[in-house]
Structure 1
Amino acid sequence: MTERKDNRDDPVLPKGGQEDDALGLFFAAARAETPQPGGDFLARIEAQALAEQPRVSSPAPVVLPRRPGRLAQLRDALGGWIGVTGLATACAAGILIGVSSQDSLSVFWGGDAAGLGTLGVDPLSGFDLALMEG
């Protein structure tokens, strides 16, 4: 197989039969001294970088969108003002019916408000009779 010959630790390649290896000597000399960039080169790089940056006189204030309040969120969840007015009307009617006595409700339904025959509600509807058959 092949053997790896690592001569990186040596600043100069060994002279034993490899004097004619000019490329190896060149790389060994390059490893001995690390090149540093010049000051004029760094100044040109900095000038180019500053020329590419956007010019902003002052940062614009960040404007966050306003979130609606809790009542606005509730109004939107109920379907807007139409849903809110329908719900308010149903609540008012429920309170009126719940608080009123039976005698005062007879004005709306006529006769005996507590009787089921007057309201036209059948306790055994057709659906219930269908379930009883079997």
Structure 2
Amino acid sequence: MAKELKTKENDLPVEDFIDSLDNEKQKEQSYTLLELFKSISGSEARMWGGSIIGYGHYDYVYSSGQSGTWMRGGFSPRKGKFSLYIMSGFSHYGEILGRLGKYKTGKSCLYINKLEDVDLEVLKELIAGSFQFMKEKYPEGA
């Protein structure tokens, strides 16, 4: 069940999850990100597993034949940092990343310690670009 919950959209209340965070500053910043992603995506926040807040969804099929449904973007407050899911990846955002501030990246994850470490206007630009990319690549998703 834990693996199923980890990768699936569910009905757990987003606000209950945020309110359960121990760190008050991270809780406050999670609410900021909640509204930022909602305003950019036009979607309501949904829990994906027990700790990921996602917006929209799309269906994918890999060349291996594996398929599934995943969020179009979102974030997760983790111990001491935020993981932001930028589903388009970062290869075509060099100029934007150069203006962002302090961060690290993974394949589709942007890691920031706190919102003060980045320029919020640039972060909005990056998130909006990712949602636009996903809309073009997967127009049938929500």
Structure showing the higher strand proportion among its residues? 2
- For the pair shown, which has the larger CA radius of gyration, 1 or 2? 1
TM-score over 0.5 (shorter chain): no
Which structure has more relative contact order (CA 8 Å, sep 6+)? It is 2
Shorter-chain TM-score range: under 0.3
Q: Give the TM-score normalised by structure 2.
A: 0.19
